[in-house]
Amino acid sequence: MSHPAGVARHCRLPHEDFGPAWTSIKLDDGVRERLLAQALLSLTVRQKLRFEVAPLHGLILLAGVPGTGKTTLARGLANQIAKRIPDTNATFVEIDPHALISSALGRSQQAVAKLFEETIPEIAMDGVGLVLLDEVETLAVSRHRLSLEANPVDVHRATDAALAGMDRLTREHRNVLLIATTNFPEALDAAVISRADHIEEIGLPNGAARREIIADTLNAIGGVWKRVKALEAQADRLAEAAKGLDGRRIRKGIFAAMASDIDTAKDPNRLTVLQIESTFRHALTVLKGTTNESTA
Ligand SMILES: Nc1ncnc2c1ncn2[C@@H]1O[C@H](COP(=O)(O)OP(=O)(O)OP(=O)(O)O)[C@@H](O)[C@H]1O
Ligand SMILES: [Mg+2]
């Protein structure tokens, strides 16, 4: 199915594809509750009170380092909101910011304006529109940090158009809620941050979350290769070894361990705790190297 320019996908919610997104990300239940409460409140208040009294922009921002589950959680949140408003149609729209500022598309400013002023309101015309603005910093690059030499004027204009568009969209369409994610809040325009009704910092998984991620992954693998299930008993030890890794890296690490050698790759039943610990250690070393480089 083709989508309008700048839209990665859109569909009605609740949608079965989105169900696991909410539960597969392991974090404090408090975070989920807070996000859902904030989102529902923002939608309700904005439909009942004037902006001058209740300056809510209908923007929720999830910020945190890469691989911590922000995008997945944002999709899950949209789905949960839809479930809590059963008598109202809910439409999900995922914006593709890269397409918007790509040079191939050109004329970014107009493209951005059209997206916010026409495309999204049209898609989300009936009921509630839940809009995912993933990696919002690419769209709203801090004007502060942009140097005219390194970045085409077009990007500046696109940033202005994005800010104006977001403002107008949520002011004129109080049935629209924007859920934005960023793994680079320093690059994000301060105006976007100040517009957010709620900013949730999604951190690296703590011990309990790491344990759950590991157990969940081993359990899934164990559904196919039965002997892997036994490793779940070692989840505490593995959670300790994974300290400092993000959720994506932890899940990937277990699969990387399955490729430790050809025998294990051919028969994942042979996977051992030592192999997983070793891949976690390796991932931590690589991570340390890249952090040192970037701060050097
Ligand atoms: N806390 C977590 N619990 C369980 N799984 C996690 C967690 N964090 C990340 N993951 C895993 O990593 C995958 C990727 O997460 P996602 O793409 O949502 O992260 P992100 O924060 O948006 O990353 P980026 O900033 O790089 O876009 C998820 O689908 C999930 O499998
Ligand atoms: Mg993401």
d(CA 176, CA 62): 17
Calculate the CA 279 to chain-centre distance: 25
Indicate if ligand 1 lies below 6 Å from the C-beta of 252.
Answer: no
Query: Could you tell me the two tokens for 228?
Result: 């892997």
Q: Which of 35, 72, 211 to mutate to test the pocket of ligand 1 (most atoms within 8 A of CB)?
A: 72
User: What are the structure tokens assigned to 114, written together?
Assistant: 């059209």
Mutating to test ligand 1, I would choose from 71, 133, 179 the residue with most ligand atoms within 8 A of its C-beta, which is 71
Does the beta carbon of 205 sit less than 6 angstroms from any atom of ligand 1?
yes
pLDDT at 290: 79
* Backbone phi, psi, residue 221, to 5°: -65, -40
Cβ of 161 less than 6 Å from ligand 1: no
Q: What is the pLDDT of residue 104?
A: 45
Return the pLDDT at 105.
45
Cα distances from 163 to residues 109, 144, 155, 158, 291, in angstroms, run: 11, 14, 12, 9, 32
- What residues in the chain have per-residue pLDDT under 70? 1, 99-107, 139-155, 292-296
Which phi and psi angles does 64 have, rounded to 5°?
170, 170
71 Cβ below 6 A of ligand 1: yes
Instruction: Verify whether ligand 1 is closer than 6 Å to residue 32 (CB atom).
Output: no
pLDDT tens digit string along 247-268? 999 999 999 999 999 999 999 9
Rounded distance from Cα 126 to ligand 1 centre (Å): 31
